[in-house]
Amino acid sequence: MVAWYSFVTIFILYFHGSFQPFTTMSVQKEIKRVTTHTLHEFKAKGTKIAMLTSYDFSMAGIVDQAGIDVILVGDSASNVMAGHETTLPITLDQMIYHASSVVRAVQRALVVVDLPFGSYQGNSRLALESSIRIMKESGAHAVKLEGGSEIRESVERILTAGIPVMGHLGLTPQSIYKFGTYNVRAKEEAEAQKLKEDALLLEKIGCFAIVLEKIPAQLAKTVSTSLQIPTIGIGAGPETDGQVLVLHDMLGINKEFRPRFVRRYAELADVMHNAVSSYIADVKSRDFPNSGEMY
């Protein structure tokens, strides 16, 4: 009798639309946390991956709540947060400080942290120690390293600890003094060939994704289609599996920096300048605070 009532109830709910079998429910469930597996599923389904940088709690919270897939705590913090000319001066301790602030704000996105210059090159033991410090002290989910075959040993050693690794090829800003300029990389055949081989190597040894920075769009397309793992482009055209921008560039906080690959989604420097000017004027004119803004 009880079983019969249950069957009728489920039948009515099903036609009413409020009953779903468990299999359908789990498929339709909202993504809770983006993981490296989610990114692989995105690539398989042809869903583009959206990634942005963040370096602090307040910004990371806004970016995460807007629904970004991946937050990169980039060593570009050296430029945009600290005002250095290059990414080289930022330290591991400073990266951990930025990363832990970001992690405290994030509920959904995968948080990837750059290993800073000098914390992994040429020494795989140091690379592992640096990565463990980042994961333990910040609570981030993955690390990113610049380079291909030169850093193979470091990448392999980090992976032995179960730490997911994102690669970064093309214009790798930690090598700026080797390149001499921030111009497009891999326009010549030899460099393009090495980049293709490095991408395959990084996939083979276990990287879960690769950033392709400032390379010809056609090369980025060739690399992206040759890999099972996703590529995330910056200045690499539309055929990579995802896109990344520096948050301060796309929000127009960095007014002077206007390379072709940055699309400005806001002019926050102007908005902030006007807000600060109004505040100064209100203080000087004694308009602020008024009777409703005091105790």
Note whether 234 binds ligand KIV by CB under 6 A: yes
Residue span binding ligand KIV (CB under 6 A) among the ranges 40-48, 69-77, 176-184, 220-228: 69-77
Cβ closest to ligand KIV, residue 34 vs residue 167: 167
Among 64, 69, 114, 203, indicate the residue that binds ligand KIV (CB under 6 A).
114
Residue span binding ligand KIV (CB under 6 A) among the ranges 17-25, 71-79, 250-258, 271-279: 71-79
Among 53, 119, 154, 240, indicate the residue that binds ligand KIV (CB under 6 A).
53
Among 74, 116, 167, 170, indicate the residue that binds ligand KIV (CB under 6 A).
74
38-41: which pairs have CB atoms within 8 A and are 24 or more residues apart?
38/69, 38/110, 39/69, 39/70, 39/110, 39/208, 39/209, 39/230, 39/242, 40/208, 40/228, 40/229, 40/230
Residue span binding ligand KIV (CB under 6 A) among the ranges 67-75, 149-157, 184-192, 261-269: 67-75
Report the distance separating Cα 295 and Cα 281, nearest Å.
22
Q: How many chain residues are in contact with ligand KIV, going by CB under 6 A?
A: 11
Surface-to-core class of residue 31, CB atoms within 10 Å of its CB (0-12 exposed, 13-18 middle, 19+ buried): exposed
Which positions are annotated as active-site residues? 213
Report the distance separating Cα 66 and Cα 18, nearest Å.
29
Distances, alpha carbon 266 to alpha carbons 36, 227, 257, in Å: 30, 34, 14
Phi-psi region of 177 (alpha: psi -120 to 50; beta: other; left: phi over 0): alpha
Note whether 244 binds ligand KIV by CB under 6 A: yes
Note whether 64 binds ligand KIV by CB under 6 A: no
Residues within the interface to ligand KIV (CB under 6 A): 53, 72, 74-76, 114, 211, 213, 234, 244, 246
